[in-house]
């Protein structure tokens, strides 16, 4: 995987977990939970589709990337983290998810922005699959890829819990060469 500066990011095929998120809030929720689970920014790759990049280029003032993890979170995420603090943390009266949002925001940027096409080509993914992923991600969505060498199942659960649509098979299945 390559970041926007052209530097390689180490992601090996057996450890890669991926999901498509259709909106910024769901992606922010997932990244925040990944950060709280101890995943580092250099293990989280976030990719826009070509359509999403064009939309961002047309409106450079728009904040399309979910980089501020203290920003807007879904009601489900806020309730889940508020209950966790109230029930398990015993950290005083009232429900609050602010501590989790702040903790997730400690490492900046919280992810590495990667190019969807270049990254998948480097992994040997078929052009048709790359085109399909661009279509699935759409103008306002994201593909999040996580290098999960220790616990891929737990990482996949985090992505699913935050409304991610799993795409691990698509980004790990190399192109079959037929003659």
pTM of this structure: 0.79
Measured CA to CA in angstroms, residue 112 lies from 101, 127, 146 at distances of: 19, 23, 10
How far, in Å, CA of 49 to CA of 55, rounded?
10
Sheet with 16-21: list strands edge to edge.
112-115, 44-48, 142-147, 16-21, 165-166
**Nearest alpha carbon to residue 30 among 156, 169, 174:** 156
**According to the model, what pLDDT value does residue 179 have?**
37
Local confidence pLDDT in tens for the 179 residues of the chain: 556 666 665 554 468 999 999 998 999 999 989 988 888 989 999 999 999 888 888 876 666 566 665 568 778 877 887 776 655 555 555 545 556 555 566 667 888 999 999 999 998 899 999 999 999 999 989 999 999 888 899 999 999 999 999 998 888 877 655 43
**According to the model, what pLDDT value does residue 71 have?**
66
């Amino acid at each position: 995987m390559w970041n926007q500066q052209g530097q390689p990011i180490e992601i090996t095929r057996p450890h890669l977990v991926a999901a498509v998120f259709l909106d910024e809030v769901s992606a922010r929720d997932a990244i925040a939970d990944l950060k709280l689970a101890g995943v580092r920014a250099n293990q989280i790759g976030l990719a826009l589709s070509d359509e999403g990049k064009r939309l961002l280029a047309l409106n450079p003032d728009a904040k399309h990337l979910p980089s501020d993890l203290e920003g807007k979170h879904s009601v489900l995420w806020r309730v889940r983290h508020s209950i966790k603090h109230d029930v398990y943390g015993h950290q005083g009266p009232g429900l609050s998810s602010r501590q989790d949002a702040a903790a997730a925001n400690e490492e900046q940027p919280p992810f590495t922005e990667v190019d969807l096409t270049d990254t998948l080509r480097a992994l040997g993914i078929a052009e048709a699959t790359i085109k399909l992923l661009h279509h699935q991600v759409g103008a306002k969505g994201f593909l999040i890829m996580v290098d999960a060498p220790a616990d891929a199942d737990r990482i996949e659960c985090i992505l699913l819990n935050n409304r991610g649509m799993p795409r691990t098979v698509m980004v790990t299945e190399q192109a079959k060469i037929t003659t």
